[in-house]
Amino acid sequence: MNKVKKLLKMIFLVEIAQGLALTLKTMLAPAVTRQYPTFKRKPIPGSRGLHAMRRDEKGNPACIGCGLCEAVCPAKAITVVTTEGPGHEKVVNSYELDLFRCVFCGFCIDACPVSAILMTPEFELACYSRKDAFYTRDRLVEVGDNYMGRKAAKKP
């Protein structure tokens, strides 16, 4: 009986018909593709994108130059140069982030003791010049200002 059933299935192409029905059903269902540049998905909260630097209460860049992010970075994307200031305090001479090296792991954010460096969900990082992919401290602060400003403007 089972053999006859199998033979009939083969002769009348039952399984092919089932397959055809499935593809037809898929065709009539809406496609899952998003038309990217015209339709952008909202970033998922907590997604790791472009870095930003926070300001402290006085409005200066919050980085204290401890170098922990530089130490923890697995891709060696961060370079911090510090010197001693006139009052024996630590001065951050330069803070550079190389996006060509960055793997967006987020370890620098975890390592920062004062939460100076952050990540925004910004992911469209294409640029026309190689220089544009090197983020200095000032540019990181600017990104942070823009991002925070946008967020603050949205909140109320």
Number of residues that bind another protein (CB under 8 A): 13
Quick one: 33 or 115, whose CB is closer to another protein? Answer: 33
Sheet holding 78-84, edge to edge: 78-84, 90-98, 134-135
Tell me the closest approach of the beta carbon of residue 155 to another protein, in angstroms.
36
Among residues 44, 141, 147, which one has the least CA distance to residue 97? 141
Tell me the closest approach of the beta carbon of residue 108 to another protein, in angstroms.
38
Tell me the closest approach of the beta carbon of residue 40 to another protein, in angstroms.
16
DSSP 8-state assignment for residue 129: S
- CA dihedral 34→38→42→47, nearest 10 degrees, is 80
Quick one: 18 or 136, whose CB is closer to another protein? Answer: 18
Of residues 5 through 44, those in contact with another protein by CB under 8 A are 16, 19-20, 22-24, 26-27, 29, 31-33, 35
Among residues 140, 133, 138, 137, which one has the least CA distance to residue 100? 133
Cα radius of gyration (the chain)? 27
Tell me the closest approach of the beta carbon of residue 41 to another protein, in angstroms.
15
SS3 content of the chain, % helix, strand, coil (to 5): 35, 15, 45
Quick one: 12 or 123, whose CB is closer to another protein? Answer: 12
- In Å, the largest CA–CA distance within the chain is 96
Quick one: 2 or 35, whose CB is closer to another protein? Answer: 35
126 binds another protein (CB under 8 A): no
Tell me the closest approach of the beta carbon of residue 12 to another protein, in angstroms.
10
The site for another protein (CB under 8 A) is made up of 16, 19-20, 22-24, 26-27, 29, 31-33, 35
